[in-house]
Amino acid sequence: MDIKELKVKTKDNKKLNHPWEMARIEVVLDILKPLLKDKTTEKNVLDIGCGDVFFISEFYKRYPNFKPSAVDIAFTDEIINNLKQEYSSFPIDYYKDVKDVNLTCGNADLIFFLDVIEHIENDIDFLKGIKELPYVDNDSLFVITVPAFQGLFCNHDKWLGHYRRYSNSMLREHISTAGLTEVKSGYFFFSLLIPRVIQKLIEKPSNEDKVEGIGNWNKGKAITNIYKSILTFDYYFTKVLSKIGIRLPGLSTYIVCKKAL
């Protein structure tokens, strides 16, 4: 969850993550599954633009051999202290800047940019800069997810501070220009395309101030799990279709990449 949405609470004052965010965890873990077979060797994972550290904490539950570091320029001392209390059972290191990251053992094996680079005006230069950091080597895997299709850019994108949405081909072009090479890529969440198209058609540009974002989700655990299951099924169904040559678009697109040699 974006820091902008971090303070939104449910009616019983407990933070409830959006089913989209929860389903995205399952998508990313499945995408990485064939690449992360070793669950014993100690490794380092960074979540850049981590928000409320929900994702990196869930990733650590599945891969405890990865030492987690969370980086977000929106972190304040107060936010970091609150997160340390909330996630006190997780060995997460917190940083306000990628240049401050101090990995005590080895380089970064895995770096997440989950719905991050659309917030950056010059995303190519940003990725170039990350690529040249001292703890990033030729084996470091970059995992990038972004919202798909510029034609669907709406008030929600403006409210979140997005500069753009991406097609998969545009994302591949940008990482190539940044000196990275693709390992795998694709789309996910096909079922969300039609609702977003309808939203785009009926919304008024002047309604940006009425956007609340996913931090306002308060439907309860049962409804949340139902929606999460629908989105997770969506991903696996379209994955099966892709194996027989039917490749569907989605509201999000991803790419896994590493330094070009």
Q: Which CATH number does the domain housing residue 159 bear?
A: 3.40.50.150
Measured between alpha carbons, how far is 100 from 133 in angstroms, rounded to an integer? 10
Using one digit for the tens of pLDDT, what is the confidence trace for 141-152?
999 999 999 999
Q: Kindly report whether the global pTM for this prediction surpasses the value 0.85.
A: yes
Q: What is the mean pLDDT of residues 139-162?
A: 94
> In this predicted structure, what is the pLDDT of residue 206?
62
Domain containing 215: what range?
Answer: 3-259
> In this predicted structure, what is the pLDDT of residue 11?
41
Q: CA nearest 127: which of 80, 61, 178?
A: 178
Using one digit for the tens of pLDDT, what is the confidence trace for 78-109?
999 999 999 999 999 999 999 999 997 889 99
> In this predicted structure, what is the pLDDT of residue 261?
82
Give buried/exposed letters for 26-39 (b at 16+ CB in 10 A, else e): bbbeebbeeebeee
Phi, psi of 61 (to 5 degrees): -60, -35
Measured between alpha carbons, how far is 188 from 121 in angstroms, rounded to an integer? 24
Give the chain's domain count.
Answer: 1
With contact defined as beta carbons under 8 Å apart, do 54 and 32 qualify? no
Question: What value does the CA radius of gyration of the chain take, rounded to a whole number of Å?
Answer: 18
Q: Do the strands 180-188 and 141-147 form a parallel or antiparallel pair, or are they unpaired? A: unpaired
210 vs 26: which has the higher pLDDT = 26
216 vs 54: which has the higher pLDDT = 54
> In this predicted structure, what is the pLDDT of residue 210?
54
Q: What is the mean pLDDT of residues 199-221?
A: 69
- Non-local CB neighbours of 11 within 8 Å, separated by 6+ positions: 218
